[in-house]
Amino acid sequence: MEQSQPLKKSSSRGELLGDIFVDVDYQPITFEYGTFKQVVHALKTSSTDYDLTGQIIWKAADIMSKYIIDHLGPSVLKDQTVLEIGSGPGLCALVAQHFAKTVILSDYQDLVMDLIAINCEKCAVPTCQLLSTQLDWMKCKEADYYETLPVLEYDGKQMVDHARLPAIGIDYIIGSDIVYWTSSIEPLMDVLTLLFQRNSATLKAFYFCYIERHVVTHTQLKGALSKAWDGGFVVEEVMSEFAKGIDPNAYIYKVTARGSE
Ligand SMILES: C[S@@+](CC[C@H](N)C(=O)[O-])C[C@H]1O[C@@H](n2cnc3c(N)ncnc32)[C@H](O)[C@@H]1O
């Protein structure tokens, strides 16, 4: 990926903690794959002292984006609504916007939502509706959380209210590097169960790229997926040669509701 002019945006979180702790020196980074190009703003390296993994683009996002281009593309995503969970800067969503009708980026920290707003403002293509929502997996079991979750869109000047999340039928969920600690597994199962329940008429699959760093975390993740949802999700590893050709520890999983496969 190549770098060009730096971009700074002061954030509410950045102002709170001070720039000593929070780095918001975002750079436009160009993701290139064959003739495909997409700029995404992010930190070039993880130079912040604060735990904000959502400010940088992870290798899994690069692999998942290549998978979207090669194996989903317009044949799967045309006229579809795609939600990216744990987007961070949102490379996968920004790639998916080239093929889908509507793409929603989501994360949970204010500072990452500010970065998502930058990417919605600067990187939207005119053929897709690009939206954002602050979907925190840890809060999704709270009463009325999902019902009232605001979805924002860029109006040419700023992100403004568009709808509540339940008003949008989601066809596909995507994600990359969204599990790195075992503590993320249970909240992830909660949000997936909720999303599959609430979008049962439209939701076809959840695709995500996982990088194995610890065997135990990977085993727990697969076990949790097979138990969550009503009777367990069906979890299928797809294109393993493709993923492992880029990183031997990379896995791309397709997750569907049992009975819909
Ligand atoms: C390792 S980063 C991956 C970012 C991006 N998907 C990528 O691959 O470049 C993990 C992401 O998951 C998000 N995340 C972690 N816990 C979350 C939660 N409870 N709710 C929503 N997002 C969460 C983080 O904020 C971060 O953006």
Would you say 96 and 78 are in contact if contact means Cβ atoms under 8 Å apart?
no
Kindly state whether residue 67 falls inside one of the protein's structural domains.
yes
The string of pLDDT tens digits covering residues 127-143 is 999 999 999 999 999 99
Kindly state whether residue 47 falls inside one of the protein's structural domains.
no
Domain range spanning residue 186?
Answer: 55-257
Kindly state whether residue 35 falls inside one of the protein's structural domains.
no
> How confident is the model over 107-131, as a mean pLDDT?
96
Cα distance between residue 110 and residue 106, in whole Å:
11
Task: Give this prediction's pTM.
Answer: 0.92
Cα distance between residue 228 and residue 59, in whole Å:
27
Q: Is the pLDDT of residue 14 over 90?
A: no
Kindly state whether residue 43 falls inside one of the protein's structural domains.
no
Binning pLDDT at 50, 70 and 90, where does residue 152 land?
Answer: very high
Kindly state whether residue 18 falls inside one of the protein's structural domains.
no
The number of the ligand 1 atom at minimal distance from the alpha carbon of 61 is 8
Number of compact structural domains in the chain: 1
pLDDT number for residue 4: 41
> How confident is the model over 207-223, as a mean pLDDT?
96
Kindly state whether residue 23 falls inside one of the protein's structural domains.
no
Site to probe by mutation for ligand 1, drawn from 107, 116, 189 as the one with most ligand atoms within 8 Å of Cβ, is 107
Please give the distance, rounded to the nearest whole angstrom, from the Cα atom of residue 87 to the centre of ligand 1.
6
pLDDT over 70 for what percent of the chain? 89
> How confident is the model over 20-46, as a mean pLDDT?
90
pLDDT number for residue 8: 44
Atom 3 in ligand 1: which residue has the minimum CA distance?
Answer: 177
Please give the distance, rounded to the nearest whole angstrom, from the Cα atom of residue 166 to the centre of ligand 1.
22
Nearest Cα neighbor of 120 from 157, 85, 169 is 157
Whether 82 is in the pocket of ligand 1, judged by its Cβ within 6 Å, is no
Whether 84 is in the pocket of ligand 1, judged by its Cβ within 6 Å, is no
Would you say 188 and 179 are in contact if contact means Cβ atoms under 8 Å apart?
yes
Kindly state whether residue 226 falls inside one of the protein's structural domains.
yes
Kindly state whether residue 236 falls inside one of the protein's structural domains.
yes
Please give the distance, rounded to the nearest whole angstrom, from the Cα atom of residue 76 to the centre of ligand 1.
25
> How confident is the model over 96-122, as a mean pLDDT?
97
Whether 60 is in the pocket of ligand 1, judged by its Cβ within 6 Å, is yes
Whether 108 is in the pocket of ligand 1, judged by its Cβ within 6 Å, is yes
CATH of the domain at 252: 3.40.50.150
